[in-house]
Amino acid sequence: MDKYAIDGHKMQYHTDRTEQWLRAKTIEEKLNVYPLYVEVSPVGHCNHRCTFCAVDYIGYKPNVLPLEGLKATISNMAESGIRSIMFAGEGEPLLHKNLAEIINHTKSVGIDVAITTNGVMLTERFLEECLHSISWIKVSMNGGTHETYAKIHQTKPHDFDLV
């Protein structure tokens, strides 16, 4: 049995939210039914330049969400019924210098946490600080050799060994 239900059929565990949406009679009522899951991009830049990444289209902007504002937003999400957040998206989330604190805060307000990362910056220190608050980590490993990995990720072959 898949403990984390990663197969994509999570709605069966949240029938209350589905029923709330179905009972809503107006668009306004439906807009007050918050999603179960949100993807958050804490940074807008990356340490890789993967050939398939959509960030190429929007540009690598060195935007970083401010710590206190992000924590406040996450608290509001929890109050609204958001049940899980994946830190991923428009950049490498581990480039946010306060990501461990953000992850611990997210878990402390009752939201499950996941990360999608290229894995290069997954350090023992980071994991010691927040692994207890993370449900799962997805690492992008697009290549089976140093050479193919470096070509696809457009990075140094040495990153293959780090991951």
CA geometry: angle 65, 67, 69, nearest 5 deg: 75
Place of tokens 């898949």: 2
In this prediction, residue 18 carries a pLDDT of 80
* pTM exceeding the 0.75 threshold for the entire prediction: yes
pLDDT (tens digit per residue) in 50-85: 767 776 666 666 788 999 999 999 999 999 989 999
pLDDT of amino acid 130: 97
Number of independent structural domains in the chain: 1
Domain that holds residue 46: 33-162
Instruction: Provide φ and ψ at 139, rounded to 5°.
Output: -105, 125
Q: What is the CATH number of the domain that holds 127?
A: 3.20.20.70
Residue 135 lies in a domain: yes
- Position 7 in a domain: no
Strand partners, 136: 114
Domain assignment present for residue 19? The answer is: no
Does position 148 have pLDDT exceeding 90, yes or no?
A: no
User: What sign does the CA torsion over 117, 121, 123, 125 have?
Assistant: negative
